[in-house]
Chain A
Amino acid sequence: MKNVQKQKRANKSLPFFFRDEFKVSFVIIFISVALLITTFTFDIVPPILNRGIQPATFPKALLVLIIVMTLLIYYFATKNPWKVQKKLPKSFFLTLLSFFIFVVISKTLDFFLAISALSIFVSYYWGEKRIFYLLLVGIIFPVIVFVFFETILGLRFPPGIITNIYYS
């Protein structure tokens, strides 16, 4: 409890634009406004086909509601600041990077290769240095999963370097 109070006090000492509550509220409102603007580009249905309300009305109402509620949480946070979150460790950013690498490899090279690469990368950076276990998570297990999906579920994976060899 004391720790939470301490974290809250630490947060209060920061300039408002560095505080989590400001950053989070700003991001939500920014995205909501952008989406709200998008709703004005939705087609308008002629009155004869329009059932109840226009297709854009419901999302518009939701976005306005989200903006209003976000302003409310920001208002309450100015009175009762959020506690400062611990800095994210390097392992988090590396895992996030691995997601990005996965998307790039699956798009350009091979879906299966992307799974293997991510598994080895994550396992290694989370502290696994033993070759057997890296092979287990990076090759043996993905092969089992691949065969399971391919044979039992009859799934066809997207084309790529390795999958093309398998399918040919």
Chain B
Amino acid sequence: MDNLLLMIAPLFSSKLLLVLFFGTLFGLILGVLPGLGPTTGGALILPFTMTLDPLSAIVLLTSIYCAGTYGGAITAVLINTPGTPAAAATCLDGYPLAQKGEAGRALGMATVSSTVGGIFSVIILVFFAPILAQLAYEFGQPEYFALAIFGLTMLASIGEGSPIKNLIAGAFGILISTVGKDFMTSIDRFTFGINELTEGIGFIPVVVGLFAMSEMLTQSTLINQVFNRIALKAIKLPSKDDYKKTWKTILRSSGIGSFIGVLPAEGGTVASLIGYSEAKRFSKKPEEFGKGSIEGIAGAEAANNAATGGAMVPTLALGIPGSATTAVILTGLIIHGVRPGPDLFREQPDFLYGIFGAMLIANVLFFIFGFFGAKIFARITLVPNKILWPMIFAVSVCGTYSLNQSIIDVWIMLFFGVLGFFMRRYGFSVVPVIIGLILGELVEGTLRQSLVIFDGNWFMFFTRPIALTFFILSLIALAFPLIRAKKIKK
């Protein structure tokens, strides 16, 4: 009961309501714009959150996350380009349905299923995160080390792209975290005599560079791209018949999305693809998929929004990000001095349940905004890239500079922008770099502290049941892509 009261607390705070309002609005705009999305948008907004208290800052980021994930569907339906990667599966049926003159119906279904998926996942988050956090009380340094390794190997298993490339990117992210003074012995590593590097490489220049600047370079290769836009008259609520056809799909995809979200990987993107394929598998009319199936839209959208709450579970309970955007949210928590984990549940329940409540409200808000404002948001895609991206550059540069008032940070951001562009060009996802960077200190710190506890005996890791379980799960995660590849070959 107390927790429920804490959850609805944001409703009674005018400041939090205002933050939620702007976060949802901003998230929708970001979701609608192809190439931006909640991850890049969250990265751009991170420096600005420094002016807010920790709860407002995280509420802002999570509302951007929820609304941005839904916003991608508007562009997917109307211009056949996913506003966010998580909306890629929505294009498959959303656009064909819009071409048949039923854009309003397609967006109506996307809005309803996204809201249901989002709310479902918040409920999962409320019940599941404290249980996971309770379990984490059993964790010592070796268990945390094994858990972080498991988180990284999951990237190889269910993240997008080549598993080995994902692992290389993750290892590179961890390597970046070693730059600067060694936290245990204060010895300089990879500083090359540059004073500014002794404090290490900050999260924000890397995050903004890898997401925003690399996207700017990607957009520079697409300036002649023309979108075929479909006019939207008005969003329609799904009919009774539509509900009859899709309610099972929405619930199933909400479950799938929440589960995939909990696993430390690329969250919504993978969830929507699995949600879509499962919707097809269970459908009575699978032949309609790809030609404008309402079930296809429901399956993809419920799953990608359900992944938002799911991905917050390991982020808040263990400090292991469940998706790219939660990696940005985790960065926000860290720079605001909030340490995720079981202690957070015990010491700051008002903070946590405030976030849960805010996510719930954000799901309701984007339903209202989406339903009444989709026509306006669709027009945002008319802003040409030649105007939009120079503006994003100005915000990125000032935002990155503002954190430490260091010009070196801006150059680091540009360096990672160029690096991120080439990584993506050659099939290396940038998400593992961020996750590696965030987990780097945890991986190295827990490894070294464990070795101190074990007196340098590496085999002692395998005498701890929880750590051993995570190592076995890591091996399974590494073997999974090989098994999958063999199955596909057959």
Chain A residues within CB distance 8 Å of chain B? 20, 24, 28, 35, 38-39, 42-43, 45, 49-53, 55-56, 58-59, 62-63, 65-66, 69-70, 72-73, 76, 82, 85, 88-89, 91-92, 94-96, 99, 102-103, 106-107, 111, 115, 118-120, 122-123, 126-128, 133, 136-138, 141-142, 145-146, 149, 152-153, 155-158
Contact = CB atoms under 8 A, between A and B. Distances in A.
B436 to A, nearest CB: 9
Interface of B: 48, 50-51, 162, 164-165, 167-168, 171-172, 174-175, 178, 182, 184-185, 187-190, 192, 216-217, 220-221, 223, 384-387, 389-391, 393-395, 397-398, 401-402, 405, 407, 410-411, 414, 417-418, 425-427, 444, 447-452, 456
B168 A28 contact: yes
B451 to A, nearest CB: 3
Given A20-B426, A123-B387, A152-B51, A115 B401 contact: no
A138 B175 contact: no
Contact of B447 (A52, A94, A156): A52
Contacts of B51: 152-153
A119 B452 CA distance: 53
Contact of B190 (A38, A106, A145, A155): A38
Given A51-B185, A82-B427, A153-B51, 16 more contacts: A45-B187, A50-B185, A52-B448, A55-B182, A59-B190, A91-B223, A92-B220, A102-B414, A115-B398, A119-B391, A123-B386, A123-B387, A128-B386, A145-B394, A155-B401, A157-B401
Given A153-B402, A156-B405, A145 B395 contact: yes
B437 to A, nearest CB: 12
Contacts of A65: 171
Given A145-B398, A149-B402, A52 B386 contact: no
A82 B426 contact: yes
Contacts of A52: 184, 447-452, 456
A37 B25 CA distance: 50
A118 B451 CA distance: 50
Contacts of A70: 168
